[in-house]
Amino acid sequence: MEKHEVSGRSHVRWVVLLLLCLMYLITYLDRVSLANTATLISKEYGFSKVTMGVIFSAFIWSYALFQVPGGWLGDRFGPRRVLSVIMVYRTVIAILTTLVTGFYSLWGIRFMLGVGEAGAFPTATRAMQMWYPRDERGFVQGISHAASRFGAAIGPPIAVGIMIHYGWRSVFYVIGGLSLLWSILYATVYRNMPEEDSHVSRAELARIRGLDEKGEIKKANVAKRPKVPWSVLLKHGNMWAVMCAYAAYIYSLWFFLSWLPSYLVEYRHFTLIKTGLFASMPLAAGVVGDAFGGWLTDKLLVKTNNLRFSRRSVAIVAMVGCGTCTMFAALSANPNTAVYCLTAAMFFLEMTIGPAWAVPMDVGGEFSGTVSGMMNMGGQFVGALSPTVFGYLVSRGSWVAPFSVSAGLLFIGAAIWAFWIDPEQSVIDRGSGTTGPSVGVVPTPVAAGNR
């Protein structure tokens, strides 16, 4: 461990947040790249709507399957090593995407992208748990996910500009280059724990870890890494509640990440240029929703000192709001009104992110990477159905039915938050006591050699 003799107050944890935000942004530039290039790819290879829906889902299935292994790797080897490898892997996949020859190769490459990318957000959550006290966790989750949605929002106009001049394959070359550059920067700057970074002052470390009854900075537990209590996790009702509620969110999200550009072109009859603009509007609103939801859940926690209320209230309002706006969009006869309603829907949808990703840190302790991986896994298994179901229902002649399914799941998700999820109930302890340390106390075991 490094000595912390830095005078004054340092702000290294906000540099860490900037690095993570850049990673989230690049991740979503990558994630919506197929949606933004789908029209040209479908034309080149003759893919139908159902075929494209299956290809969209390939990423989500593997992403779901490897969430828990990815989160476990983040807990086991530390975010520095794991995230660096993930981003280099993404560079390779981006290059391979430009070499596809048809359905099977594109499906396989998208599946492999999901395998490698699955550990990114759970591992980043582990990094946040190491670097931030409890009353900043909703905010940092909200801001980092806002960066991801910003990446999704700027993706359509950037992709259109690149495709017009250089073709769809160049979109993936750009993403591969950005991923590689980030990996080099991150491995150079980031350390797994604030104790390992000599630029962290004692004041900042005290803010992160908290003080004991003697006024000393609490120590991080790095001497022992306990085994993941799988038998407790897999049987815990609170764990299943978190997974189910997140599934309602993910199902709706994948419309915006897969079918939105095609919906605007083919059903609302916007031109390709206008689609680049209008497809960005909901995603830009999601940026604001992420930041606002994360800020609000932490603000309510500070004001009320009630963890249940601060997490639940934001998520419930957000899901009900999204479901309502989604139905208005589906039933609107005016294309512009539909876009405005979808923009509001995305704002509400993304408000859920702050509380949703803060809860795994609240209830998961030193296994927050694994717990967030399980949450995301449950969500992605259901989300994997979304593009395929949407494509199937559209092929049967209905553009309204897919939105009705999404809205119904959102209302169910709000009910789960209201009656089932308990942010104060540990999912790694057999007892019924509340989970997690007080604000600022974070047990953070890391692998030797990753210091």
DSSP string across 274-326: HHHHHTHHHHHHHHHHHHHHHHHHHHHHHHH--HHHHHHHHHHHHHHHHHHHH
425 pairs with which residues across the strands? Answer: 434
What pLDDT is attached to residue 39?
A: 74
Instruction: Classify residue 210: in a domain, yes or no.
Output: no
Cα pseudo-dihedral 53, 55, 56, 59, rounded to 10:
150
Question: Above 50 in pLDDT, residue 344?
Answer: yes
Instruction: Classify residue 118: in a domain, yes or no.
Output: yes
3-state secondary structure of 211: strand
Token pair recorded at residue 35: 């949606």
The domain total for the chain is 1
Least confident of 28-32, 78-82, 122-126, 305-309: 28-32
Query: Which residue from 172, 145, 144, 148 is spatially nearest to 158, judged by alpha carbons?
Result: 172
- pLDDT confidence tier of residue 345, bands split at 50, 70 and 90: very high
Residues 55, 107 contacting (CB under 8 angstroms):
yes
Query: Which residue from 431, 107, 383 is spatially nearest to 259, judged by alpha carbons?
Result: 383
What pLDDT is attached to residue 212?
A: 66
Supply the mean pLDDT for the chain: 81
Average pLDDT over residues 96-105: 85
Residues 107, 57 contacting (CB under 8 angstroms):
no
Least confident of 11-15, 70-74, 209-213, 363-367: 209-213
What pLDDT is attached to residue 234?
A: 80
Question: Above 70 in pLDDT, residue 321?
Answer: yes
CATH number, domain containing residue 79? 1.20.1250.20
What pLDDT is attached to residue 51?
A: 81
Average pLDDT over residues 151-175: 80
Q: Which residue has the tokens 């009656």?
A: 419
Cα dist from 45 to 6, 40, 250, whole Å: 59, 9, 29
- Which is it for the CA torsion 175, 180, 185, 187, positive or negative? positive
- pLDDT confidence tier of residue 220, bands split at 50, 70 and 90: low
Query: Which residue from 209, 228, 207, 204 is spatially nearest to 219, judged by alpha carbons?
Result: 209
What pLDDT is attached to residue 4?
A: 52
Domain holding 84, by residue range, is 12-202+229-419
Instruction: Classify residue 428: in a domain, yes or no.
Output: no
Instruction: Classify residue 444: in a domain, yes or no.
Output: no
Tally the residues of the chain: 451
Instruction: Classify residue 442: in a domain, yes or no.
Output: no
What pLDDT is attached to residue 201?
A: 83
The 10s digit of each residue's pLDDT in 367-398 is 777 888 888 888 878 887 887 888 888 888 78
Best-predicted range by mean pLDDT (39-43, 57-61, 297-301): 297-301
Instruction: Classify residue 133: in a domain, yes or no.
Output: yes
What pLDDT is attached to residue 319?
A: 96
Q: For the chain, what percent of residues have pLDDT higher than 70?
A: 89
* Buried/exposed 242-263: b ≥16 CB within 10 Å, e otherwise: bbbbbbbbbbbbbbbbbbbbbb
Q: Which residue has the tokens 């999404």?
A: 406
Distance between CA atoms of residues 73 and 69, nearest Å: 6
What pLDDT is attached to residue 273?
A: 65
Cα dist from 198 to 201, 440, 451, whole Å: 8, 19, 12
Residues 385, 449 contacting (CB under 8 angstroms):
no
Whole-structure pTM value: 0.71
Average pLDDT over residues 158-181: 83
Task: Give, for 349, the enclosing helix (H) or strand (E).
Answer: helix 335-351
Instruction: Classify residue 122: in a domain, yes or no.
Output: yes
What pLDDT is attached to residue 254?
A: 81
Instruction: Classify residue 240: in a domain, yes or no.
Output: yes
